[in-house]
Structure 1
Amino acid sequence: MSMLAAAVLSAGVLVGPMAQAAQAECQGVNLLDTMPEAERRALIAATDAVPYPRGHLWRATRGDSVVHLVGTYHLDDPRHDETMARITPLLEAAETILVEAGPLEQAAMTAELARDPSLMVITEGPTLREALSDEEWTLLASAMRERGMPPFMVSKMRPWYVSMLLALPACDLSSLAGGKGGLDGMVIDFAQSQDKPIVALESHKTIFRIFEGMGLEEQLGMIRSSLAMEPFAADYAVTLADAYFDGESRLIWELTRQKTLALPGQDPAQVEADFARMEQVLMTDRNRAWIPVIEGAAAKGPAVAAFGALHLPGETGVLRLMEEAGFTLERLPM
């Protein structure tokens, strides 16, 4: 599991159709429970170094504008039922419900991929089989077979898309095969059942814009990083989910950074540069684009905005940006 895994699970991007595999629920150990005390202290210190590092439910007010911000986790988990019970009164009172991508965006993504398969498939240049070493390809082929995808198909996929698939452990793909769509999907289902307006925070084209500026080597690097973490994927999946339900949004990102730095052969300067790059494109740029959308909805009446929890904390997180826009923030118990 790589830095991309943390972002996919807690920040989220609209990725369209994913591998359809029926795997068992992830069975692993929570790495925080076995972490040496010195590492734990360093992890907590890094987490606490950013604004608003914890909490997944916030009320933001500015004059008559009120919006509740809900940090979500994009995979299914029975613990979401308790969360839904907590936020249902807020959803019922909302004039508008905002999500990263609503039903219209999901449909638009599917239609666009059907019209233009080259968005996801390599049409010129080396295939992944040709671009990776024999050892790397063998590891990738095995990892993708576990996710229900034949290697000959994977070889022709664009590396950014393969990175997205690798970011989700094979044991977690059951959440994507006929599941509810995580807390985001449950919020959307509720809004539809109550005929509440659903507003998308971003276009379905966001995923293409995120990766279009990355070169082949940068995308291959994401694949290599994920493959290095593959043997421990189930443990990371359990750890990240538990951290989310403990309200530890930033901890997820810092844990992934810590474990990536500990991998053999890593250049610390390069790791930090990679994390800064991914935080910019996966969180910061999107956060800034979302603020006017949230403000516009809140000006029309009470609103709820539900999006990946990793978007909440940090110097350029949604909470700090809302504060800079003149909103008063209050953390609420989840």
Structure 2
Amino acid sequence: MKRILLSLLALFATQAEAQNLEKSLLWKISGNGIKEASYLYGTIHITCDATLPQKAVKALEATDQLYLELDMDDPTLQQSMMQSMMMKDGKTMSSLVSAEDFKIVDEFLTKQLGYSAQMLNTFKPFMISAMLYPKMIDCEMQSVEGNLMTVIKEQQEEVFGLESIEEQMNVFDAIPYEVQMKELVKTAKNNLAKDKQEMQLFLDIYKSEDINAMYAATQKSENEITSKYEEILLSNRNKNWIPIIEKVAKEKATFFGVGAGHLGGEMGVIQLLRKKGYKVEAVF
């Protein structure tokens, strides 16, 4: 009975720790066979200010290579992405919605992107939603990943990826095209109003470095892709990354930069590494 009680207490402590991670985007990874500390940093793919905090710059200086979700300096990246943007099985956007809704999307995309929906008819709807991201912020778009790569190149170090573009794009084959199209129709009908509101929420949370709030916001999102397919979008990918992070961190001091939404929660990268026996500490 005593062992059972101790086990339950340990479980509750772990859950409480997962729910109350400190407010920090930068985390130090050590222990469990790691000789030199590596760092885990939560990024945001689109922002108005991608300036890296001094603590992140120091961590980059203390490490020997950069791992992002994708190898962003791979010369074949753009070509591979284009090959993966199309829906499978002959699906088209026009076949996923009514003629009336397709017309609304067509007019909206023509106005916002300069391309008709008919021209983009075979694209995965989420890919088109991603093309609209720059329209969701009232500034010139910047990228945290871009700034990380700039520093790494100045240090003459290498950039690698935790997953291939094919693996990342397959996520949007696993999420039903119908759901993706439903969200694109919603975006067209409200003319980006809701999307801008949610984007600003994520930007504000990111600025506060509150990864608990970031994870909670993804779960509460009105966008079904984000809220209802968290396992496909985040958890499964997190689990796939852990063996790579383990292997790489034991070989060389590494700076890992992944979307901040991947850090929080019981199935977030921080907790998954802790469950494997690594010490993962917030850096302030």
Calculate the TM-score normalised by the size of structure 2: 0.79
Partner of 2:71: 102
Give the secondary structure class of the aligned counterpart of 1:240: helix
Deviation (angstroms), 1:233: 2.6
In structure 2, the CA distance between the partners of 1:233 and 1:93, relative to structure 1 (3 Å rule), is same
For the residues of structure 1 that align with 2:228 and 2:199, how far apart are their CA atoms? 23
1:294 matched to 2:245? The reply is yes
Counterpart code for 1:185:
G
Q: List gaps (5 residues or longer) in structure 2.
A: 1-15
The aligned residue for residue 209 of structure 2 is 247
Query: Contact between 2:23 and 2:210, CA under 8 Å: does it hold in 1?
Result: yes
Contact 1:136 1:224 in 2 (8 A): yes
Partner residue in 2 for 1:44:
none
| Identical-pair percentage | 20
Is the 8 Å Cα contact of residues 52 and 312 (structure 1) preserved in structure 2? no
User: How many residue pairs get matched?
Assistant: 265
Alignment check: 8 A CA contact 2:109 2:115 kept? yes
1:208 aligns with 2:169: yes
Cα separation, partners in 2 of 1:155 and 1:311, compared to 1, 3 Å: same
Gap change, CA 1:162 and 1:132, over 3 Å in 2: same
Q: Please state how far the C-alpha of 1:174 moved relative to its aligned partner.
A: 6.8
Partner of 2:43 in structure 1?
A: 72
Q: Does 1:112 align with 2:80?
A: yes
Trace 1:164-313 onto structure 2 (pairs within 5 A): 164-166=130-132, 168=133, 170-172=135-137, 180=142, 182-227=143-188, 230-255=192-217, 257-258=219-220, 260=222, 277-313=228-264
Deviation at 1:312, TM superposition (A): 0.4
Change (3 A) 1:121 1:203: closer
* Larger Cα-atom Rg: 2
| 1:316 aligned residue | 267
CA deviation after TM superposition for structure 1 residue 245, in Å: 0.6
Root-mean-square deviation (Å): 3.1
- 1:157 partner letter: F
- Code of the residue aligned with 1:255 in structure 2: it is A
1:227 Cα deviation from its structure 2 partner: 4.5
1:34-53 to 2 correspondence within 5 Å?
A: 50=19, 52=21
Q: Report the CA distance between 1:257 and its aligned residue.
A: 4.4
Structure 1 distance, partners of 2:164, 2:172, is 14
- The amino acid of 1:158's aligned partner reads K
- Superposed displacement of residue 60, structure 1: 1.7
Structure 1 runs not aligned, ≥5 long: 1-46, 262-270
- Whether 1:57 and 2:22 are equivalent positions in the alignment is no
Matched-pair contact (CA < 8 Å) for 1:67–1:303: yes
Residue 71 (structure 1) shift: 0.4
Q: 1:326 corresponds to which letter in structure 2?
A: G
Which structure has more RCO (C-alpha within 8 Å, separation ≥ 6)?
1
CA contact (8 A) 1:146 1:170 kept: no
Write out per-residue CA displacement over residues 161-194 of structure 1, whole angstroms, 9 at most, x where no aligned residue: 234335x262449756xxx5x1111111211121
Compute the displacement of 1:76 (Å). 3.8
Deviation, 1:142, is 3.9
Inter-CA distance 240–99: structure 2 relative to 1 (3 Å threshold):
same
Structure 2 counterpart of 1:154, which letter? L
Q: Determine the C-alpha separation between the residues in 2 that align with 1:219 and 1:120.
A: 13
Report how far residue 330 of structure 1 moved. Answer: 1.4
User: 2:72·2:160 contact (CA, 8 Å) conserved in 1?
Assistant: no
Alignment partner, residue 147 of structure 1? 112
- Looking at structure 1, the residues matched to 91 and 279 of structure 2 have their Cα atoms a distance apart, in angstroms, of 51
